[in-house]
Structure 1
Amino acid sequence: MGPVRRRLTTAAALVFPAPAWAEVCEDLRPNWDGTMMSGMDELLHLFQTPLVLLLVLATALAVRFRREWGGVAVVVGWSLATFLLTGTGGSYGIMDIGRVEGCVGSPALFIAVAVAVCIGVVLYTAPRQRGKE
């Protein structure tokens, strides 16, 4: 589905609420208590997912053993996780409706933390420069 068609579909869903609209938050966040989710709430929610917990462990191992290829694998994993978990991985319209309803917060803080982790891993696991002679 093209970007224009996706935007039109999202706009139509936002302008003309349907009975399915009310069920979005029940599907996305079954234990949601009705309060608006902030960026920090969304960060904490995304950091509790199994994929991110696995990435935190893999990042710790890559940094501990200071391996270049481990760092590359972790950066690719963080990029993939950010793509999939922030709503751009196939369920774009549903996440937008969830943000409008308030059960999904802004993923900007999670993206910023993931970028910072990736930059740190790349800088730390980069090969050391030998002294120039």
Structure 2
Amino acid sequence: MGSLRRGLILALLPAPAWAQVCEELRPGWDGTPVSAWSEALSLFTSPAALILLAGSLIAVRYKSQWGTLAACVGWSALVSVFAFWDGGRTDAMAEGCIGSPMIFILAAAALCVAMVLYIGVPAKTED
């Protein structure tokens, strides 16, 4: 009975699927586990995040409420894509080639809150 159980357990392990997922998502992965900080750096240097960072800076520079709204909606969409798009992401996280996106999510949320609070202050008018 022991060998049957071992065979079933080994058959149910998704090791080949994990290896293929990591090869697809991170082709140059060297086998070391990715930390949450490394994953946040990787996500912040993606082209979409860099465009949103530039848009956020422009919106804050010109104190544009509509620009801030657009940037916050963009950050929300990007976080949703990274957090809920599962194209093998959970398997890759279990294998270690992708880290937790929690720091990226918290930083994006903090950036949006800071922008809204900064832009929400009405401009002073001189009488």
Q: 2:110 aligns with which of 109, 116, 121?
A: 116
Residue aligned with 1:35, SS: coil
Q: Which residue of 2 aligns with 1:42?
A: 39
Structure 2 unpaired stretches of 5+: 1-11
Superposition CA RMSD, Å: 1.8
**Pair 58,129 (structure 1): closer, same or farther in 2 beyond 3 Å:** closer
Q: 2:119 aligns with which of 97, 113, 125?
A: 125
Structure 1 stretches of 4+ moved >6 Å: none
Q: How big is the shift at 1:109?
A: 0.4
Q: Which residue of 1 aligns with 2:85?
A: 89
Amino acid at match of 2:118: Y
**Aligned partners of 1:81, 1:73: CA distance in 2, in Å?**
12
| Contact 1:68 1:127 survives alignment (8 Å) | no
TM-score of the pair, normalised by structure 2? 0.83
Amino acid at match of 2:16: P
Residue aligned with 2:19, SS: helix
Task: State yes or no: 1:74 paired with 2:68.
Answer: no
Pairwise mapping of residues 99-114 of structure 1 onto structure 2 (< 5 A)? 99-114=93-108
Q: How big is the shift at 1:33?
A: 1.1
TM-score of the pair, normalised by structure 1? 0.79
Identity of aligned residues (%): 42
| Contact 1:98 1:104 survives alignment (8 Å) | yes
Amino acid at match of 2:24: D
- After superposition, give the CA deviation of every residue in 1:95-125 in whole Å (9 maximum; x if it has no partner): 1100000001011100110010000111111
Q: Which residue of 2 aligns with 1:5?
A: none
| Contact 1:71 1:122 survives alignment (8 Å) | yes
**Aligned partners of 1:19, 1:90: CA distance in 2, in Å?**
18
**Aligned partners of 1:130, 1:121: CA distance in 2, in Å?**
18
Amino acid at match of 1:24: V
How many pairs were matched up? 114
Q: How big is the shift at 1:129?
A: 7.3
Q: How big is the shift at 1:42?
A: 0.3
Q: 1:98 aligns with which of 92, 95, 107?
A: 92
